[in-house]
A and B are shown apart, each in its own frame.
Chain A
Amino acid sequence: GQNIDQPTEMTATEGAIVQINCTYQTSGFNGLFWYQQHAGEAPTFLSYNVLDGLEEKGRFSSFLSRSKGYSYLLLKELQMKDSASYLCAFMDSNYQLIWGAGTKLIIKP
């Protein structure tokens, strides 16, 4: 079967670094997406990994290990505006996204 898992909630301090993990199981895989969703708003795209390794984009980086079914999103130099939910999703063999429930990130001053 298919499943995907990420922590429900994390807390971090402004200016610090936080890593949000995501694990998944699937027989067909076409990449791993991370989205950011502020409360009451639509999800917005952050990153896409299809090959193993780290992709860096400014303060945000995303890592993928296909053999381990594992990804993480790394947020550096945290700002209060980074308080949001972070959604992990993998694309299955039918090119449909299977979504995790999201990780609510709380940033404290």
Chain B
Amino acid sequence: IAGITQAPTSQILAAGRRMTLRCTQDMRHNAMYWYRQDLGLGLRLIHYSNTAGTTGKGEVPDGYSVSRANTDDFPLTLASAVPSQTSVYFCASSDNEPDEQFFGPGTRLTVL
């Protein structure tokens, strides 16, 4: 793989279900990010990780959790999905601040 991959590409989920969105990068970047993108709004940061073993809350963290066990992987978990979490989710990574962020292809999630 080259760059950042995300899985699944899209998913329809019943409200109340648990869901993990996967993100893997092979660029050995220190920092990783999860954003959601909704129509008419800018990208909003959910959680971030500056380096393996550390995570932080972004602008809209409620209902989401992350872990960073190693450099490459940064999964995002929705413990109990709600319809307002219907969105396109992008994972991104960067090497050093304030470097550009590289984005994965996104996951389109629909919660019914």
Contacts and interface: CB of A to CB of B under 8 A. Distances in A.
B101 A41 contact: no
A20 to B, nearest CB: 14
A44 B103 contact: yes
Interface residues of B, number: 18
Interface stretch (A10-18, A57-65, A73-81, A97-105): A97-105
Main secondary structure of the interface of B (DSSP, over half): loop
Contacts of A95: 97-98
Interface string B20-59: 0000000000000000000011111100100000000010
B62 interface: no
B43 A43 contact: yes
A97 B104 contact: no
A96 B105 contact: no
A102 B42 contact: yes
Interface of A: 4, 30-31, 33, 41-45, 48, 50, 87, 89, 91, 95-102
20 contacts: A30-B98, A31-B98, A33-B100, A41-B105, A41-B106, A42-B104, A43-B90, A50-B98, A87-B42, A89-B42, A89-B43, A96-B45, A96-B58, A97-B43, A97-B45, A97-B101, A98-B42, A99-B43, A101-B40, A101-B41
Interface of B: 40-45, 48, 58, 90, 97-98, 100-106
